[in-house]
Amino acid sequence: MNVIIFGPPGAGKGTQSKFIVNKFNLFQLSTGEFLRREIKNKTDLGSKISSIVNSGSLVSDEIVSNLIEKVISKEEYKDRVIFDGYPRNLTQAKILSNLLSKYNQKIDLVLKLSVKLETIKKRISGRSVCSLCGKIYNDYFNPPPKDKDCCSSKFLQKRGDDTLEVATKRYETYEKTTEPLIDYYDNLNLLKVVNGESPINQIYDEITDIIRLIEG
């Protein structure tokens, strides 16, 4: 099965992807990571990419397509890819579906991890780290103990407001760019929305049920 996963930054998409990859023996194709790897390995594609990036331009759809084709054309990855960070727009969604059908494959499932902006803000603004022991707390979800010397307020450090601002911008950009894609896959009856605000184990269970149902 081939899966696409969507989720706003800070929604725990990485954690969930890793879980699906391990549980169902899938291969995670994170396009950003792959571009960096091509550059590092100095492949033909890699040197092409680095000259584009160095000139300040964006990597074209064609290059990303080449990269994806390199993966999905391999027998070992057939029908077991989870796409993370791709597609980012409708053009890419159509390119992906054409590429897959060239190798007798298709997208079987589109997972959307949904988390409200308010929750992501709380995850960030409530977060603090004890400068003594390194423990991480959250005022809303996992408040620091009141009866301990270590981890008392004088040792707790918070991140600045700028982090919050950046996160809000990234969330809004994510919503704007993925909305048409979500509609597109919903119309193809491929979309499953998972509540990313549930406890992690519950999310795992929900995703497992969805995938089992599709795999039959």
Using CB under 5 A as the criterion, what x/- string covers residues 98-127 for binding Zn ion? ------------------------------
Which residues from 15-54 bind Zn ion, rule CB under 5 A?
Answer: none
Measured from the CB atom, is 32 or 145 closer to Zn ion? 145
Binding flag, residue 188, Zn ion (CB under 5 A): no
Q: Which of 45, 71, 129, 130 binds Zn ion (CB under 5 A)?
A: 130
Of 150 and 166, nearer to Zn ion (C-beta) is 150
- The reply to whether 150 sits near Zn ion by the rule CB under 5 A is yes
Q: In the complex, what is the shortest distance from the CB of residue 156 to Zn ion, in angstroms, rounded to a whole number?
A: 8
Closest to Zn ion by CB, 133 or 214:
133
What HEC string does the chain produce?
CCEEEECCCCCCHHHHHHHHHHHHCCEEEEHHHHHHHHHHCCCHHHHHHHHHHHCCCCCCHHHHHHHHHHHHCCHHHCCCEEEECCCCCHHHHHHHHHHHHHCCCCCCEEEEEECCHHHHHHHHHCEEEECCCCCEEECCCECCCCCCCCCCHHHEEECCHHHHHHHHHHHHHHHHHHHHHHHHHHHCCCEEEEECCCCHHHHHHHHHHHHHHHHC
Among 132, 166, 200, 214, the residue binding Zn ion under the rule CB under 5 A is 132
Q: Which stretch binds Zn ion (CB under 5 A): 34-42, 111-119, 142-150, 185-193?
A: 142-150
136 makes contact with Zn ion (CB under 5 A): no
> Binding of Zn ion at residue 133 (CB under 5 A)?
yes
